Amino acid sequence: MKIRNFSAGPSILNEGVIKKSAEAVLNFADTGLSLIEVSHRGKPFVAVMDETQALFKELLNIPDTHEVLFLGGGASLQFYQSALNFLKTKAAYLDTGSWSSKAIKEAKLVGEVEVVASSKADNYSHIPEFTVPEDVDYFHYTSNNTIYGTEIRYDPDCKVPLISDMSSDIFTREIDFSKYICVYGGAQKNLAAAGVTFVIVKKDALGKVDRPLPTMLNYQTHVDKGSMFNTPPVFPIYVALQTLKWYKELGGVKEIEKLNEQKAKELYAAIDESKIFRGTAEKDSRSIMNVCFVMKDEYKEKEAEFLEFATSRGMSAIKGHRSVGGFRASIYNAMDIEGVRDLVKVMKDFEKKI
């Protein structure tokens, strides 16, 4: 039985990507050595880093005004680091879920934060309407709310530069980088194995804050050294390169977007047509990456039974986050349409059975 991995993160990777990464662990670039035992300063790994950065930029059409960094610390460190490097006096934040509110908490350590809107009172079931003030250094938003299954699939219009946490929907749409001074995210969803964080920074926006920056938390340090100031997480960077090569083979972000839209359409349709399930996110805020659903009140007591049934049929990690309950199917780029159709079939079979 094929196991379908719907985990929210770390999450599904393409099979070919996993195979190539495994091969490099045994014999890296025909060196007779393992990828995980060689110097990051040796020629073979420097070539990997260069190619990964170049392909990352190519696939997302990132202009030369911006630099792509591969750092440690996770998106969680970026909540603080982005504020530290860009918040001069005041910044605007949109509160759309747990990750946004964590970003807000860290930014408050650095300067004044204006929360322009929040959907917390509705358990973050939708993206609230918002207006960004003009007297702020930047506007920060979380593009995809992994826990609540809501998403902002456009680059917001406002008078100030944007910063975005794109941990769970990077490489799912084209992005207008001229609007952004920083885009960051953990790589463990749409890019690589856990352990590396991508950070895209606008170079001429750096160096504008007065505070002294610790060397490791200063983006300029990493820009100057091509992400090699200290030892980078070599294995997940190698995995990222394999994923990016696969994305290129698929035809790039535009093609990936079409595949994702079809996957989400079929899964949401199954939920909306169902007698027993309902989606938790409002329709116009729905994420195409994390599909959250619960059982309707009259079937609520069947949730544990469905989870067991689905798991026995190979549907792995569909239990919803405790903040929402029910189920969450994370259908990242590496999940193919057949996986989604298998899940839909399992949902329909369960409905027939009860």
Ligand X SMILES: Cc1ncc(COP(=O)(O)O)c(C=O)c1O
Active site residues: 99, 165, 189
Using the rule CB under 6 A, which residue among 12, 55, 68, 75 binds ligand X?
A: 75
Footprint on residues 170-189 left by ligand X (CB under 6 A): 186
DSSP character for 204?
G
- 243 near ligand X (CB under 6 A): no
H/E element holding 302? none
Please, what is the minimum distance in Å from the beta carbon of residue 276 to ligand X? 28
Q: 325 is written with which tokens?
A: 């309950």
Burial grade of 140 (CB within 10 A; 0-12, 13-18, 19 or more): buried
How far is the first Cα of the chain from the last one, in angstroms, to the nearest whole number?
23
204: tokens are: 């001429």
Distance in Å, CB of 166 to ligand X, minimum:
8
d(CA 68, CA 62): 9
Residue whose token pair is 């495994």? 22
Mark the segment that binds ligand X (CB under 6 A) among 160-168, 212-220, 319-327, 345-353: 160-168
Residue with tokens 């826990």: 147
Binding window for ligand X (CB under 6 A); candidates: 68-76, 121-129, 200-208, 292-300: 68-76
Among 167, 227, 242, 285, binds ligand X (CB under 6 A): 167
Judged by CB under 6 A, the number of residues near ligand X is 11
Instruction: Identify the residue among 52, 168, 274, 285 touching ligand X (CB under 6 A).
Output: 168
**Residue 233 interacts with ligand X (CB under 6 A): yes or no:** no
CA angle 219, 225, 227 (to 5 degrees): 65
Is residue 78 within 8 Å of 69, Cβ to Cβ? no
Shortest distance (Å) from residue 2 CB to ligand X: 25
What is the helix (H) or strand (E) element at residue 200, kind and residue range?
strand 197-202
Shortest distance, CB of residue 78 to ligand X, whole angstroms? 8
Contact between residue 97 and residue 142 where contact means Cβ atoms under 8 Å apart: yes
Going from the C-alpha of 69 to that of each of 142, 232, 279, 288, the distances in angstroms are 19, 10, 36, 26
Nearer to ligand X, 186 or 326 (CB): 186
Among residues 12, 13, 70, 74, the one that binds ligand X under rule CB under 6 A: 74
Backbone angles phi, psi at 145, to 5 degrees: -95, 90
In angstroms, what is the minimal distance from the CB of 349 to ligand X?
30
Rounded to a whole number of angstroms, the minimum distance from the CB of residue 269 to ligand X is 25
DSSP 8-state code for residue 319: B
Q: Does 67 bind ligand X (CB under 6 A)?
A: no
Instruction: Return the amino acid letter for 334.
Output: A
**Please, which of residues 278-297 interact with ligand X by CB under 6 A?**
none
Q: Which is nearer to ligand X, 128 or 314 (CB)?
A: 128
From candidates 82, 85, 142, 172, binder to ligand X by CB under 6 A: 142
Q: Which range binds ligand X by CB under 6 A, 69-77, 112-120, 239-247, 335-343?
A: 69-77
| Separation between Cα atoms, residue 260 and residue 335, nearest integer Å | 9
The strand pair at 139-142 and 162-165 is best described as parallel
| Among residues 7, 31, 76, 311, the one that binds ligand X under rule CB under 6 A | 76
Using rule CB under 6 A, residue 190 touches ligand X: no
Binding site for ligand X (CB under 6 A): 9, 74-76, 99, 142, 146, 165, 167-168, 186
